[in-house]
Every structure is written in structure tokens, then in C-alpha cells.
Structure 1
């Protein structure tokens, strides 16, 4: 609804946008937007659809059209796939290419990875493998019966990365066919700012179980569903041990901005017309903020001083162009701070000082509510210790103090201060002073309103509520979805099945509670409703469901348990049909639109809200998992 003066709308960064706008999306049933308009895939997974292939096709089509119609105009493309962020979705044959490749476990894989890195010259020969945290079990400590599941998680991930790389190759080939490859600067940055350690110690078939704190995934369940990993039947994530292995040879993972395991990524730069040292390696320190400055210098464009009349803060990045011709050029990006949830680090002229304040997968309560002043700082000399394996804090206390002071100077300069180690409180809009889109206890929606994010509609979790729809059933009856929230991995839906009013509550894709009227609705206009009476006594409890038509009861039933925190990371609320995966097995992902006339749908929330009982630290976990 606007204002349309920011990304991704035209004229504000990009002229065209296609993709998803959340932190992640289902690769088989993605939540897609073209500009600000929601769009749906043209095929199902069974018909060969996968988002990575679709995104690549769209990018190739755009590049071809641009060069065909305006051949003299240079193009800029930001190609940001969901791969390999969770969920790890890939055609089974790609995962099967890696069968047996990870049976040796994550400890062995870390050592093998470092050996390959040394052989390729991408890390110094004297690089040591950092120690695995005691918080992460050794492979030999895992349950032998679970190891096939754990290995399959990694086979799926590896297949997903290969599949993504294949499609990036298609895009590069298309640029070459256009005759533009030699004079196109390509950055290929691989990684999720450190691999994600948000998949628990055993991994998951459905991330939402972790976020809702409903431990339905027993080891037996994981073994029974091993074949579902990577397929449309799962929304999977690998175990923490694999995340750590994917950050080899460094310590820690994503969210640990203090250490290289949480920040450092492999990067390829390709520009044959300008870079003559094909296959060459560069070791000067660079940061992602340097990419924009590099692109501007490469294109011969000045840094913008004003945009739409607004004076811009000078860019903080340093162009990397100076490294293209000279592998030994003196480093220009000499200092860089890092901070996330008070995990802090500072790099300066080869040295780094770092401190871990919060372990990514532990809450503040589990860590004993650490105090910032009690954090232990570590010191590393990058000239001799590429992987941050040898802490020199005790040997060089003056150097450590120098870098600690420098961190504070940089933190003050770039608005990191004041340091704030609150977690969920910062994501609470009311406490943080951010506006909220949805307020009050009632919201009316209309047909055609689809792909509404969870934050765009009234929150009905952990409270009594009523969903009412005004409909007209034609002669011969009607079928289809009136309103649905979430999808096959958790949500609820009110719909007509073969003319019969039906309500389905899908608990994390494991159990479906269905309440159905006894007979089809005859032709006519009705106000149909599903009234949910919440049990109370905490979050995620069950409740009684009453279905009615024009106030007359037509069915009663029970939902034994509900999702307390989130329905989905990417699925949405849809009125008049359901996009993405279906909540109920009564209808499919296609052809589920209501065949009668839907006038409106109203959501009404009761006053028995239990959301205040949520653990603030868990809200933080949910927020960080969306990144």
C-alpha cells in the first residue's frame, strides 16, 4: 500500500525486481513477487518447478531483453538466490550425487576441507584447523542410528549447492552468448555470513517445529522420514555440527560476527577485459561494503552525493580495483569492526580482537545472562594465523587493549554504540518505538488479497477468535478456499469441500484436526463462521471449534494443540484461494479458488491473549532465524 519510494519499487535502486522478500522461502512453492505484485509459479514441483531454475530463467530473459532493445546500455544485476539458505530443497537426483560422501561425519569433513583449501592455495599452508567447541558433539558422540539421517542432511545440502552453481553457470553462459562476458564484472559471493547453526543438534524436517518449541521430531521420526529430506514434503535444515563444518577452518558459525566463522566467505571476481591474472589469488582484506565502491570505480561512475534531493552519507567501503592488477598491492581497507547481538570483533592491519557474548543456539538464560564487561576478548595475528586458531591475548595484552580501544572508536563513529544485548525486546515494536501495521482486535479482508505476510494480519494465536465469511453459493453448490493461513507445514484453513463447510488446523504438517459440517450448503447467501474457543492455561494449547452458517451451528470439533509462535517463515494469508502449499489434504496447491462469490472475510480476536507468556529469548531466536 506504499509509500512506494523504497526498494524494490522502480526508480529506487532497481528498475525491475523478481524474487522473494523474506529471509528465506520454500524452493518448491516460493512466495514470489514481481515488483510489488505477488505472482505464482507457472508449474508445480511435479511438473519440474524449482525456484532456482525459475529465477535463473527470469534473469536470463531480462538480460537478453535489455541487450536486444538497448544494446549500448550497460546492465547491473543483483542475483540473490535462496540457495543455500534453509530450507534445503533440491531435486533428489542432485542430492544422490553425494551419497556416501559425508558418512565420515563433520569432524572428518572439516579436516578434509582444510586439506583441499591448502592444496588449492586459497588458505596459507600453515593454516591450522580451529578446535571444535565443546558445545558441539563430536561425530563419534552422535547416535549411530542417527548418522544416516545426519549424513543425508549434508548430501541434500551439497546437492543444493551444486544445483545452484549449475544455474549460476547457465546465467554466465547466457551473458557470454550475448557477447558481454569479457566486459562484465561478476562477483560470486558464496555463503550465509557463516553457515546457519539454527537447525538444532539433530537437524529438522520442518524448521517451524524448532521455532514453535514443539519437539515432535524424535530420532525415530527423523529416521522414518529420511527420504523426505530436500523434497516438497519437507522444510528441512541440517544439524549444527554441519554448520560448523561448513565454516572450516574457522571457529563458530552464522550470528557469531566476532569470529571469521560467522563472517568470512569465499568470493570469486571475474572480469577478463580488466583482470589479466586469471586464476590469481588476492589476500588484501576486503569487506562486503567494498563491493559498491568497486562497481562504481569499475563503471567510471562517481559516488552519489545526493539521491532524490537527499544528501548521502559518504560510502564506508574501499574499492577493490587496486588489487586487480597487483597481488602485492598494499592493503587499503585496513580497519573493520564487526558486531551482532554484542558478539564483537575488530580487524586492523592483520590483527583481530574478538569476543563472543552470545552463542548462536543458546538463549541468554541458558548462558546465565552474560554481562558485557565480563566477556573474554581474544587476540589473533592474521599474518601467521589465518584461521584464528591461536589466541595471543595473554602474550600481547597491550596489543589487545589497543584493538579494544579501536573497536570503541569505530563503534562510536559508525553508530554501533550504545551496545545493547537485549534480545527479544529489540524486536518488540512497542518497546523499540516502531509502528505496527495491524492494530485492534478486528480486521476485514477481501477476495484477491493474497500473499499477506504473518505480520500483515491480525494475530490469532494463543487466544479465542472467530473467522467469519460472507459468501454466496450458486446453484449446483460451491467448493474452494475462503481463507487460509500458512501451508502444509503448519496453518489453518476455512473452506468448502464438495460443498461442505470445513475447518482444518494443520499442526506443523504432522497432525491435521478437521471439523466438517454434515451436509453441503444449498444455494444462497450466508455468513459462515469458525469460532475457536481457546483452552487457556498457557501458549500453544488446544481449543474447541464451532462452525456455523447464519448463526446456526453446523459442526463442532476439537483442536488438541496449536502453534504458539509462528505459522510459517514464508507462507502467507490468502483470501479466496490458497497460494503455496495447501493447509489441508482436501484440496491441492492448484485449482483451490472458491467457486462461489466471496464478499468478505473478517477476523475477530478475543481478549484472552496469552502472548505475554512468551519467553523473550525465544522471540529473538525466531527473529534471527528469519535472517
Structure 2
């Protein structure tokens, strides 16, 4: 930071234009005519470039930089020349962590107590960031930074995620980023993602067959943007937020990266956890006296898993490890680009290895196609089926996740996993800070308690920028994080962030001056069946954080008075930041009407027009477990017609109505395992016609089959049968499109490139029957699906 006085009053943003009074001449040629030159707005002298890298679903014990089995040479490189933080914390879930990171406030303070899909009207869970808490990117932009985000954004309220917005919560609109290239939502297909450039939907620049991969694409865009920024605005610092979907499921990676780990996980998760623990102590990233926490009964021992399944389980972890190494390699390309431009010394880099603990949302067996689990059809993925698909794990034909056992192992040495905000397995993530111009120590370890809300105030202090009092005319509430800058120069400095609450789905905890009191209310992978205890009946645990790094020795029985004090303190902090009321409801939070949030879907009929697309599943009426019709008003040209009329979902589950060589077809794709095809007997004549598909649901429960009839106008032209359907969800990232299909295609009968309808579509309507079996779906099952997708 520079000691040179700054001429701007930066507490009010945008900085008010205040021209100095002076002589106004009549003629510009008058010698007394004088105006200062126009100068671009810049932050104070010495303000660094900033790069935040945030990986997804990486546990503390996964990356080699923190003792894990997945090689992360870029993280190690930065750590060797920077600082490693071994007590850095997140919120235990992706969207809340990201909202906290980008605002410097606790997740409930910015309305993100959970994920957007379970938002309620309670302020702490609304998914709406108050305008009194402006995002960091906005503050930096209004102070003269160039700003850009690449990758995942899961902070857009679900009712604002359609192509019509509103875009207040999108990164390049209300989020403060001048550039955004990435995806909206919790996860995405790494081989064929649904992408946005700003708020405009775009298609990937290549196909998987041509070597496309999302992380590589994001890195390409980030590197190109940084080069252009420095070429055109060399005096202006940048703020880049690089948040790839890696390593969130699906675990997609080129085969050669996964093959680097062949045979390395054949001994299973129990042995791997022991190896990681030993390596962590060897590296010194955990204290020498730290203990390895025990495996809970909810997690099956490796030795008790079926022998025939073990090759599949081992391959799941090989694929994941390759995915993480591949992501780290792409981060390395960003670092190399910054170094080649000669500005790495002046760039403050935060490399945060995970937005929460490792994900335990893949069940004990893992999955080849997550959608089978989401639809209660995991039984279809038998050991024999999985063995037959083992070589496809990670490929474009898979939508895979690993076993709960691997998630537990990747969180070594801590208890529990993602979603469990009470224990460090859900909230402690490795972090590396690199800023050669900002501190002199190289390869240092920092053990002060830090939290994701500390990143924003650190950046502001490093840039010499005040916390804004007013942004866009709105008075701001104080930032709630604590700057970490004091730790840069002094590894022994007394920690300043000594009080922090945690809460997620009733899992809650409090950290205070070395002590932590915690209670786990819900197990993340057990979301169906069983009764949750009353909040007051939850059993609290007490840990000495100064002498028990991993929360291995529960002292609740020995120190009840201290536990009671911390419980009261949690309640006060939860009240202060909007974590109350606690909410462990399921169906109520998934139903927009009961939750009190807006919805785009109303009634039993929906009309679409040509060109509409990228419509998420929650913005289209649900045709599941009921009869329905699709009616399209189309015009077929005289020389024949082809292409998609309407398609929902994609390769891993969905349906479409399209025309192939002049004949109308309806295809129902069941989980990518089986296709049911009904084709018209005759070609669609030239001219304007009503094309209709009627599906008569069998009834009698969920996921049943039904009969299909195709019509030209009122004349039946084809009949067929669908033997079974998906009762819950088609896809986490695929959408509904009219007149074409984006992403992966429901059927191999066409490609995304060839899917455009060659005639004219005037409109398409879906009408639902009155035989709805959706009410029969267990509300806890709905909740499980919403959670597993985030």
C-alpha cells in the first residue's frame, strides 16, 4: 500500500463527481482557459491485482498441498512462495459460502442460509442479498478495478434464473463484474455445459469429441481476459474470480488424467485416510499432536463393501483425483499467464481449495448417473451394471459421483462432510495466499482462525480502500469479516477473528477463542426416512480448539458450564445474523407457495414460443407422474421438415418431440439406459398443421409407464408405449428448448448442431391431465434431490 494521500472520497460509491470551481472563459482560445485533464478512475497507488480461485466440493484432505492423494502442484507452488492457512473455514455449502465470500458478510446476513432452491421468505433464507450489503466486486469496480468472473454462480434466486431475469443477482448485472462467462446453478456437465456470456446464453465453442472441457474453456477465457486487460489498461488493477465447477459432481475429466492414479486407491478409504493423516503430519499442515477422528457408524467400512463393487469404487476415486489435478493444472495456466505478464509479484492470490467439505451426496455405492439416485432408481445401477460401465466413469457418457466413503476420506482428519456445518469436516478448507509484494515470508504456515467472510475486508485493506458507507445511494451495513492482513507479516499474531457461528439445516456450531461447541442435526446422505430430533433435543459436543485440532476429544461431559455458555453465545450470534428461525423442513421449503417465494410456473398449462430455451426444470410445468399432451402449431415447408419441436432434459434423462425425415417422433429417454420411441406412420404434409402427442399415464404410483398417441391435426398417425418414467427429475443442468436443443440431446437421432427445426413453429403448449400422482412423492425425497443437486 502507498502512503500517498488519495484525492478521492471513496466512502460513498459511486464516487461523487465534484468539479472544482474555477474561472469559466467565454472563448476556449483564451489563454486563461484551463481544465484538468480527464483521468480514468484508479484505486489508490499500490493497490494489487486480485485473483480469487475457489474450487468446488474439495475436502481438506484431498489436495496434495494439504497432505491428500490428489496432486495439486499449482497449490504447492503458491504455498512454497506464499502462506498456507490450515484453519480457514467456509459455511459447509456452496451457495452460502460464495455469497459470504463475495460480500464479506455471514451467509444468513445476505439471505443465503441454504441453497437458492430451498429459499423461504425468512430474511436469512430468502436467497436475496439486501442492497445494504453491496458485493465486493461492485465496491472494487466503483473504485477503479477491472472485474471479471469465470465459472459457477449459484447465488441467483431460482425465480430470477430464467432468460428474462431480472438480472440483479447475476454476476455481470447487479454483482459488480464487468465480465461473466460461466454457468448459473449448482452443477453442470463438464463436457457439454449450459453457458452464459453475461446474461446471454451461448453454446460451448467445441464438442467433447473435439477435446472440449469446461474447466479448460473457463481458463482460456480467464487468461485471454487478463491479457487483454493488461494490454489495454496496464495501469488499472484487475479483480478476477475464478470458480470452476470442478470438483463438484459429475466428476468429468479426460481419461488420461484419471489413469494417472490407476491402482492407487485399491486399498480403500480407511487405508487412504490413514495415509493422508500421516502425510499431513509429515508436511506440518496439521499439528504434530492432532488426532485422526474415528469413522462413524453411518459410513460403511471398506472391508464391508461388496468385493465385486470395489473395482468400481476404486475407479470412482481415480476419476475424482484426476479431476482435481486437472483443475489445479488449469489454475496453473492462470498463474503462468499472470507471471508472463510480469504482474504476479503485484497480484494478491487467494487459492481456496473447496467451498465446503467433500461431498457425501453420492450414496455409499456412488453413481454412474446421479439421476438414478435422484429418481429413487438407484437399484437399476446394480454391481453388474456398474462394472460394465467402469471404463466410462468420467467420460461424456457418464454423470458420475463417488461414494460417501471417499468423501469422508477426503475430509481427513476431521469428522463428517459437506452440509455438516457443526464439524470441521464440513467447514474447514485449505487455503493458500500468495502476494510477493505484500509479505516477505515464503512457505509460511498460518494457524489463526479465519473464515471466508474475511477475504473481502482483506482485499479492501490491501488495496487501501475504505469500507463503503454508501453504495448506489444505499447506506451500507458493516462488513462482518475480519481482515487477514495482520497475519501476512506475523505468523504468531494473536487471532482477531475469535468468534464465529455456523448453521446449515439445523447442523450448528460456535467457535469462540479456541473453543468450539457443535451439534449435528442431520446426516447429509440420510435424507429419506427417520425422524429428526427436536432442536432442543440435539446433543451438543465441546472441543478445545487450541489442543484438539481435529475435534477428536469431546469434553461436553467434563465441562457442562462452558458448553452451556457457548450454546447461549451461539443463540445470540444466530439472532444477530439472521440464522433464526432454524428450519429443517423439507416439502414446505421446496413448494414455492408454502416457502413464500415467487415461482414462474402456474396452473396446468404452459405456452411456449419458438426460440425460447435454457428454461430450467423449475420454470416448466412438470409432466411427471401424470397424463399430458404436447400440442404444436407448425408449418412444414414443401421440401420436407426436420428438427426439434420441443425437448426437455438430455442424454441422462428427458423427452423430446421432433421430426425425422418428415415423420414426427416422440422419444422418452429413461436415465440414459433405455429409449422408448414412438414414430408417426406417415410423413407430415406440407403446410400448417397441429402436431400433437398425447401421453396416457398408467397410474398406480410413481414412475409408471403410459401409452403414446401421435396426431396430425385430429387424425391419429402413430401409437407407442413408454414402459417406465422418471418420477422426480430429468436433469440438474439440462433445460427445455423450443425449436432446437442445447446441451446434450435426448436422443442420438440428431445432434445439437442439427436440431434446429427447418419449418416454422407458431407455438407449443403443454397441458397436464388431472391424474397427478405428484402428491404421492415423499416430501423428504424431494428435499434430498434438491440438496444433492447443489
TM-score by length of 2: 0.78
Deviations 1:419-477 (A, max 9, x none): 22222312321111111111122222122112111112222112211111122222221
Question: Unaligned regions of 5+ residues in structure 2, if any?
Answer: 1-163
Match of 2:172 in 1: 9
Contact 1:358 1:364 in 2 (8 A): no
Shifted more, 568-577 versus 297-306: the winner is 297-306
Match of 1:590 in 2: 753
Match of 2:734 in 1: 571
CA distance in 2, matches of 1:514, 1:494: 10
CA distance in 2, matches of 1:364, 1:346: 28
Contact 1:297 1:319 in 2 (8 A): yes
CA distance in 2, matches of 1:185, 1:252: 32
CA distance in 1, matches of 2:681, 2:463: 68
Question: Unaligned regions of 5+ residues in structure 1, if any?
Answer: none
Q: Establish whether residue 618 from structure 1 lines up as the match of residue 781 from structure 2.
A: yes
1:46-85 equivalences under 5 Å are: 46-85=209-248
The 3-state SS of whatever aligns with 1:386 is coil
Match of 2:454 in 1: 290
Match among 676, 697, 701 for residue 538 of structure 1: 701
Q: Establish whether residue 350 from structure 1 lines up as the match of residue 514 from structure 2.
A: yes
- Residue 519 of structure 1 deviates from its aligned partner by 2.7
CA distance in 2, matches of 1:470, 1:272: 64
Match of 1:248 in 2: 412
Change in CA separation of 1:92 and 1:197 when aligned onto 2, cut-off 3 Å: same
Match of 2:621 in 1: 458
Match of 2:490 in 1: 326
Contact 1:494 1:503 in 2 (8 A): yes
1:213-292 equivalences under 5 Å are: 213-214=376-377, 215-292=379-456
Match of 2:44 in 1: none
The 3-state SS of whatever aligns with 1:42 is coil
Q: Establish whether residue 308 from structure 1 lines up as the match of residue 472 from structure 2.
A: yes
1:138-149 equivalences under 5 Å are: 138-149=301-312
Q: Establish whether residue 181 from structure 1 lines up as the match of residue 329 from structure 2.
A: no
Contact 2:599 2:619 in 1 (8 A): no
Match of 1:194 in 2: 357
CA distance in 1, matches of 2:451, 2:404: 26
Match of 1:317 in 2: 481
CA distance in 1, matches of 2:614, 2:710: 25
CA distance in 2, matches of 1:365, 1:12: 39
CA distance in 1, matches of 2:279, 2:609: 57
Aligned-residue CA RMSD (Å): 1.2
1:434-513 equivalences under 5 Å are: 434-513=597-676
Deviations 1:569-615 (A, max 9, x none): 00000111111111012112332211222222111122222211111
Match among 526, 549, 567 for residue 362 of structure 1: 526
Q: Establish whether residue 340 from structure 1 lines up as the match of residue 483 from structure 2.
A: no
Contact 1:473 1:596 in 2 (8 A): yes
- Residue 71 of structure 1 deviates from its aligned partner by 1.4
The 3-state SS of whatever aligns with 2:633 is strand
CA distance in 2, matches of 1:608, 1:580: 31
CA distance in 2, matches of 1:293, 1:153: 39
- Residue 3 of structure 1 deviates from its aligned partner by 2.9
Change in CA separation of 1:321 and 1:21 when aligned onto 2, cut-off 3 Å: same
- Residue 218 of structure 1 deviates from its aligned partner by 0.8
TM-score by length of 1: 0.98
The 3-state SS of whatever aligns with 1:265 is strand
Contact 1:341 1:423 in 2 (8 A): no
CA distance in 1, matches of 2:705, 2:477: 52
- Residue 327 of structure 1 deviates from its aligned partner by 0.1
Contact 2:528 2:784 in 1 (8 A): no
CA distance in 2, matches of 1:485, 1:2: 20
Deviations 1:84-112 (A, max 9, x none): 00000000000000001101100011011
Shifted more, 229-238 versus 582-591: the winner is 582-591
Shifted more, 63-72 versus 566-575: the winner is 63-72
Match of 1:419 in 2: 582
- Residue 626 of structure 1 deviates from its aligned partner by 2.3
- Residue 64 of structure 1 deviates from its aligned partner by 1.3
Match among 190, 201, 204 for residue 367 of structure 2: 204
Match of 1:118 in 2: 281
Deviations 1:349-397 (A, max 9, x none): 111111111111113632x332212211111111111011111111111
Deviations 1:60-82 (A, max 9, x none): 11111111111111111111000
The 3-state SS of whatever aligns with 2:451 is coil
Change in CA separation of 1:103 and 1:224 when aligned onto 2, cut-off 3 Å: same
Match of 1:390 in 2: 553
Shifted more, 413-422 versus 385-394: the winner is 413-422
Deviations 1:292-334 (A, max 9, x none): 1111111111112222222222111001000000000010000
- Residue 538 of structure 1 deviates from its aligned partner by 2.1
CA distance in 2, matches of 1:565, 1:513: 18
CA distance in 2, matches of 1:320, 1:554: 70
CA distance in 2, matches of 1:6, 1:142: 44
Match of 1:152 in 2: 315
Contact 2:740 2:752 in 1 (8 A): no
CA distance in 2, matches of 1:607, 1:333: 57
CA distance in 2, matches of 1:146, 1:12: 45
Match of 1:522 in 2: 685
Contact 1:192 1:254 in 2 (8 A): no
Shifted more, 534-543 versus 104-113: the winner is 534-543
Shifted more, 120-129 versus 474-483: the winner is 474-483
Match of 2:40 in 1: none
The 3-state SS of whatever aligns with 2:246 is coil
Contact 1:364 1:370 in 2 (8 A): no
Contact 2:195 2:203 in 1 (8 A): yes
CA distance in 2, matches of 1:489, 1:124: 45
- Residue 126 of structure 1 deviates from its aligned partner by 0.8
CA distance in 2, matches of 1:245, 1:416: 30
- Residue 36 of structure 1 deviates from its aligned partner by 1.1
CA distance in 2, matches of 1:359, 1:107: 20
The 3-state SS of whatever aligns with 2:184 is coil
Contact 1:186 1:270 in 2 (8 A): yes
Q: Establish whether residue 106 from structure 1 lines up as the match of residue 255 from structure 2.
A: no
